[in-house]
Amino acid sequence: KQEVTQIPAALSVPEGENLVLNCSFTDSAIYNLQWFRQDPGKGLTSLLLIQSSQREQTSGRLNASLDKSSGRSTLYIAASQPGDSATYLCAVDSAGGGNKLTFGTGTQLKVEL
Amino acid sequence: DGGITQSPKYLFRKEGQNVTLSCEQNLNHDAMYWYRQDPGQGLRLIYYSQIVNDFQKGDIAEGYSVSREKKESFPLTVTSAQKNPTAFYLCASRVQGGGQPQHFGDGTRLSIL
């Protein structure tokens, strides 16, 4: 059974700092890995999706990498801003998962002025 | 504007009562999903449907029921058998097949009166 872990659970950084969020998964047989952002009381917004054949994806100040063999992904946020404050979740679409996602518990990020 | 609409935003349930959460999408997606989110936990899958008139149980289906009579609609009923229904419920959809991103609604927060 696929298990997804995110470390750290919470993170507080000063504005302008570059930061890395981590996601690890136990079964490397995946279709893709997706990073989401969730604001308080809201649904999930998709940030980046990395297919299993890809090593990284970039969107603006965000860069997500995938090392399938080691079961790890990172989300790099450059030049953080207070508006980046949110919970970030990763989710894995497993090859044997029946078209379902397995989610991590998220990293709660606070970017302070 | 394509998207997923969940209603109501807030819902209160009396003991012994069944309540139904609505999820409608105009993205022409075949697959639809219901998740439950509790504080400090990741999303857990309740039910999912890959095609009209067919659905499968997720990891925590007990106390819930669904129907999929139309492609665009996937309502979730929280029955009186669900003894701890207080949570944030999220509906998602995506194009059928592995490797496609999931899109989410804004959620319904259910509480017990």
Report CA-CA distances (Å) from B94 to A11, B1, B3, B40, B53.
Answer: 31, 16, 11, 25, 17
Nearest to B102 by CA among B40, B50, B39: B50
Give yes or no for B50 touching A (CB within 8 A): yes
C-alpha B101 chain-centroid distance: 17
Which pLDDT score is estimated for B39? 85
**Eight-class DSSP state of B70:** B
Q: Closest to B107 (Cβ–Cβ): which among A43, A98, A100?
A: A43
Would you state the pLDDT for residue A98? 65
Stretches where chain A sits below pLDDT 50 are: none
- How near does any CA of chain A get to the CA of B27, in Å? 15
Give the pLDDT of residue A22. 97
Instruction: Decide if B31 and A89 are in contact by the 8 Å CB cutoff.
Output: no
Residues A73, A92 contacting (CB under 8 angstroms):
no
Alpha-carbon distances of A22 from A8, A71, A93, rounded to whole Å:
7, 11, 17
Q: Do B101 and A31 touch (CB under 8 A)?
A: no
Structure tokens at B71: 């492609």
Read off the tokens for B106: 């804004």
**Closest-CA residue of chain B to A89:** B42
**pLDDT at site B100:** 81
pLDDT in tens, B46-58: 999 999 999 999 9
- Give, for all 113 residues of chain B, the pLDDT tens digit: 669 999 999 999 888 899 999 999 999 999 999 999 998 778 999 999 999 999 999 999 999 999 999 999 999 999 999 989 999 999 999 987 767 888 999 999 999 88
Residue A94's alpha-carbon distances to A16, A22, A68, A109, in angstroms, are 35, 18, 12, 26
